[in-house]
Amino acid sequence: MERPTVRDVAAMLDDPRASLARNITGGRDEEGWLPSAVLRVIAERSARALDVPTPPRGPRPAQGDDDSPTATAHSVSCGPVPRYARPPTRRRVLLMGGAAASAVAVGGGVTAYLTARRGSTGDSGSQGGHLPVHTLGFQADLSGSDKQNGVAQERAARLAVEQHNKRAGITFRLALDTVDDRGVPARAEKAARRLTEAGAGAVIGLGTPAAALAAAPVYQEARTAMVLISSDGAEFMGAELNLTTLRVTRGPESSLAVPLMSYSSGQQVEHTAVIDDQAAGRAGSVLVSSLSDASRSGDTSVHTVAADSVDFAPAVRDALAAKAQAVVFSGTSPERAARCARALAEAGFTGPRLGTWRVMSPAFLQRAGSAGQDWVFATPFTDPAGVSRTFRAAYREKYGTAPGRWAPEAYDGVGLVARTLKDLGGAADIEPVAVAQRLFDAEYEGIAKTLRFSTDGTNALEPGRPVYFLFQAKGQSFRFLGRYDEVE
């Protein structure tokens, strides 16, 4: 990566909200033009120095859903950083921008600029003037196959950091250190090492199972909390890892049978047929097994479709012959789910038809056509359009689009860690291991759901809590029905 020009630096200073998210590359020649220690100083000082004093405000809402987003910090972080600084006046911010650009232009670089700033205290009068800054890490696939989910989560995490820093009465500020691992194991491990060497208080994200598996030993060794948002941690089953710092904030995939059977029961269904799509591999077989376990003896029948077959008609005929009143599709392919939907429609079946979030995509609606209407799907995420109105407004104002899947959950992930830091006193000397340990006892009422972890060593949410939701195919979209235990 080439060293930026004066114009590049000036543009970045003009928009402090510009992302400094990093790509983790394989070779040193591809690394950024500045050392990570310098970039962390930039990020954490930005979280303090760019907080231009504003008139006193009243108390914020309890959930921090302020409609006016501000700047946050995205950094490449490493090494010790100053914990305290006073914010400058608006005039001084402009002077700082000019000084930084001039330093780079004459070859002194950001290091010289920061050295010149160390002796300056700025003006007082802001609540953030003497507050410690705690840096959180965010690691996810931001440019690979899972980019859509990763970007939605990163944006929500960034918004949560900004809104925390805007609240009245806070005792510490937050900064966000974002790393793009593209979902690649080697990159994920390297990203984890950079974040732990930088001293991140906790790391959020890691939605790609392979990346999470590669990064986990690094976070465990550093005793840094690894807070999963969209991955259920199933990738760690069978791995010889003693992960005491892992925290999973979503319900396990293996328990999706619970909301599915709950819906069937609410529809007065006495017999459910499961179309076992073997093309789904382990994910499908786990769901089939869970559905069988969740039902009473004789209430469920299983009808198999081979992985190399695209003909669902025989399995559907067998299901109807077994007097099925509801049908659950176990697969993970939207295209194969659409084939199943068409086969059911051709056979005249109109009872409840169900699947999981993995097939809940536009491709299913397009390929199933009218046969896909009214299908019900169980998900581990809530409806981004159905949570806090002020969260949605702030997200749209900042990014120009509605929040995507997993955005509320990522927002809550930051809130959970912030609550833990608050419970620990918020002081500058809180170590990552203290955060990881305290998370076990934390309870946080988020905008998506309430988070509280089990104490049985599973690193999962406390059993029995309602952490699943239901959607229904209507027209060209999926209508949110609600939390599964509240849907009749």
HEC string of 100-116? HHHHHHCCCHHHHHHHH
Phi–psi pair at 209, nearest 5 degrees: -55, -45
Q: What is the DSSP letter of 359?
A: G
Residue corresponding to tokens 């914010």: 87
Tokens of 364: 């299913």
Give the alpha-carbon dihedral of 433, 171, 136, 175, to 10 degrees. Answer: -150
Chunked mean pLDDT (size 10), the chain, 488 residues:
51 44 51 52 53 37 34 36 41 44 40 34 46 97 96 98 96 97 96 96 95 95 96 80 90 93 92 96 92 76 96 98 96 98 97 97 97 98 94 97 97 97 96 94 93 82 89 97 93
| pLDDT at residue 299, as a whole number | 87
Burial of 98 (0-12, 13-18, 19+ CB in 10 A): exposed
Please count the other Cβ atoms lying within 10 Å of the Cβ belonging to residue 27: 6
- d(CA 72, CA 392) in angstroms, rounded, equals 18
Provide the pLDDT for residue 215: 96
Whether the Cβ atoms of residue 163 and residue 105 lie closer than 8 Å to each other: no
Q: In 3-state terms, what secondary structure has residue 298?
A: coil
